[in-house]
Amino acid sequence: MDANVIGVRSIFDGSAASQERTALEHCAFAAEQCLYLNFYKLREQPFSITPDPDFLYLSQTHKSVLDRVLFGIQSGYGFILITGEVGTGKTTLCRSILNILKEKVNTAYLINPSVSGRELIASILDDLGIEYTEKATKKDLLNCLNNYLLSQSNRKTTIIVDDAQTLPVETLEDIRLLSNLETSKSKLLQIVLVGQTELLEILSRKELRQLNQRIAIRCKLEHLTIDETSQYIDNRLSVAGNRGQVCFRKDAIRIIHRASRGIPRLVNLICDYSLLAGYVKQRTIITRAEVNDALRELNLSVPVVREFNIPVYVWLGASTLILAAAIFARFLTK
């Protein structure tokens, strides 16, 4: 037996060493070793949790959000808001938007925005390639940004702020002030705020009402439906090089959807571990058995679907009533 298979089997056998690893450490271990790629004849890991726009699957909600954001940027709206639960694909969507815009729009992408207002503006200038002195004040930085925007009259500039729920209130207010950079005809800057659902609560605060009122487009990423979960899995496998050599059975996909609640990041984790379990068993068809192995390793549970067992006497009583009603109706028609 392949030495790698023997090594991975210890993960699923619950050895003392494997019990000490967290689920994410296991995922990183599998990614680093690429243990199952050759077995499944795949070019790359299909279910990496690293946001990769090449793997973007446009579910109904993702396509709707993408279309609305691109429309807002093209139309010159000042503020656009994208919210969604953890793992719903916000960062992947952001990187896809950046890829689409890069030929026509100047962009700045901020991924660690929990900074002061001055640091935020400096980060924007850095991303746009604008030079400034180290001793520049916040006012100086704003002037640099304004001069740059005026020089780019034939090209839009868009700033995407990811994880915006981590921004201090004072920094959010500084972001609002950026929207004041405009001409008499149009906004010089479009700002896309992206964050978890708690960002909505933050924006509803009284001190941020001016910013909240300026948001022209509001989008929310929803969970995948069961059909979309199936298509999502197929899409990622296809991008990774699958041409039918590996597949997930329908019963496996139903469990994955229920356990993940249609959250793409959780779907990735479960599928990655399911493929690892299939590799251990040397199986190319992933069934509910491999998915259950993955769920146990990830310490995830499947929501129980309650089945209501209706007693026989209830069925008999209902049937008797229906029959009596039919006889009575026939009697009335005579």
Q: What is the CATH number of the domain that holds 111?
A: 3.40.50.300
Number of domains forming the structure of the chain: 2
According to the model, what pLDDT value does residue 179 have? 85
d(CA 263, CA 268): 9
Cβ count within 10 A of residue 48: 17
- 309, part of any domain: no
- 78, part of any domain: yes
178 and 77 together in one domain: yes
Cβ count within 10 A of residue 68: 16
**One-letter amino acid for residue 263 of the chain:** I
Q: Which residues contact 303 (CB under 8 A, 6 or more apart)?
A: 258, 259
- 328, part of any domain: no
According to the model, what pLDDT value does residue 70 have? 95
- 16, part of any domain: yes
**pLDDT of 109 higher than 80:** yes
pLDDT, mean of residues 298-310:
64
Are 286 and 252 within 8 A, CB to CB? yes
- 310, part of any domain: no
201 and 66 together in one domain: yes
CA distance to 43, 240, 276, per residue, from 38 (Å): 8, 12, 12
| Angle 59-62-67 from CA coordinates, rounded to 5° | 120
- 303, part of any domain: no
192 and 270 together in one domain: no
213 and 121 together in one domain: yes
Over the stretch 68-98, which tens digit does the pLDDT of each residue have?
A: 999 999 998 889 999 999 999 999 999 999 9
pLDDT, mean of residues 110-128:
87
46 and 66 together in one domain: no
Q: Give φ, ψ of 283 to 5 degrees.
A: -120, 135
- 325, part of any domain: no
- 323, part of any domain: no
According to the model, what pLDDT value does residue 252 have? 96
> What residues make up the domain containing 285?
3-54+225-298
